[in-house]
Amino acid sequence: MRTSFTLIRRIAVCAIAIAPATSALAGVNSAWLFKYEDYEQTSHAAPTTPVYNAFYPYVEAGAGDFTSSATLLGPTGTLPTTFYDGGSYVTTEHFADGFPNRAALDAAAPNGNYTFTLNGGLLDGQSGSIPLVNSWPEQIPTLTPTSFDALQSALPNASVVVNWNTFVPATVAEDPRVRLFLLDETVFDFLIIEQAMAVSTTGYIIPANMLQAGHRYALSILFSNATETTGPAFGSASVLSDVYVGTSVHFTVIPEPTALSLLAGAGLLALGRRRANI
């Protein structure tokens, strides 16, 4: 499943988009690390088995600040990285997914420092570390039965109230948060992106005039044990270390009753014509 990686990419892209304009001086804008599990809720019951997991540390800077993949050293040794040129920005990252269970992910990405050394460009040779210190959240996001049913029977253009269980973050997490995303899977467009809701948040209202008939959606709720600082890695760069679990609920908005009546009427008319021709 790639939904979680899509969400993380969107978090990263949003961070780049809202970052203040860089000066003529070279410098890393962000050094972020995500370690996560994704679940799917398909009934009233809380999900128990993750459908996807991954580990994703990356560094982002302005165009030309580095020009090739960085060297990444973690607690288990050197990790492979890739380089991406986005035109106005560049990133270097390590991405690993598809672990058979949490234990395997923890073995591949244990707590400790993950040190990037940049290659090429204005920042060639500069190093910085992202500390992975947070534990896994103990709760898995789960919609209430009423909210789960409300999504499955959602009507076009109507608002929908969704509620979920309480998140109790780890004490070591300095900046825990609840995230929420609504993805229109039919046109692949994120309609809602809430990246830093308070941990006490247990509900949200999908506004009216947002859902469209016949479109398939994914509502995702993330519980994040996160720690966010400015530096000391790469000077004043934004440094985020986030261990989270997320749950997605998929649903399709049903057509309006009048639309269903028209479709049924058209079907009966076609059937009558076929019988008349027999």
pLDDT digits 0-9 by tens, 36-47: 999 999 999 999
- Write down the residue that tokens 């990790």 correspond to: 79
Rounded average pLDDT over 246-260: 82
pLDDT of residue 234: 86
Judged against a pLDDT cut of 90, whether residue 143 lies above it is answered with: yes
What tokens were used for 231?
Answer: 């530096």
* Structure-token pair, residue 124: 């060639």
Q: Find the angle CA(90)-CA(86)-CA(24) to the nearest 5 degrees.
A: 55
pLDDT at 8: 63
Which range has the worst mean pLDDT, 13-17, 97-101, 174-178, 241-245?
A: 13-17
pTM: 0.85
With 80 as the cut, is the pLDDT of residue 2 above it? no
CA–CA separation, 94 and 148 (whole Å): 35
pLDDT at 105 > cutoff 80: yes
Q: Where are the beta strands (DSSP E) in 13-134?
A: 28-40, 52-62, 68-74, 77-79, 82-85, 89-93, 96-97, 112-119, 127-132
State the residue range of the domain holding 148.
3-276
Average pLDDT, the chain: 87
The total number of structural domains in the chain stands at 1
Amino acid at 162: V
Q: In angstroms, rounded to a whole number, what is the distance separating the alpha carbons of residues 96 and 94?
A: 7
| pLDDT surpasses 50 at 48 | yes
Distance, in Å, from the CA atom of 21 to the CA atom of 135, rounded to the nearest integer, reads 34
Q: How does pLDDT run across 166-196, given as a tens digit for each residue? A: 999 998 899 999 999 999 999 999 999 998 9
Reply yes or no on whether the pLDDT at 269 is more than 70: no
* CATH number of the domain bearing residue 128: 2.60.40.10
Q: Which residues contact 276 (CB under 8 A, 6 or more apart)?
A: none
As a whole number, mean pLDDT of residues 85-114 equals: 96
Instruction: Assign 255 a pLDDT band (cuts: 50, 70, 90).
Output: confident
For residues 142 and 238, the model is more confident at: 142
The angle at the Cα of 200, spanning 194 to 204, to the nearest 5 degrees, equals: 45
CA dist list (Å): 244 to 32, 33, 138, 234: 13, 11, 10, 24
**Could you tell me which of 263, 246, 245 has the C-alpha nearest to residue 254?**
263
* Helix (H) and strand (E) counts in the chain: 4, 15
Q: Measure the CA–CA gap between 118 and 96, rounded to whole angstroms.
A: 20
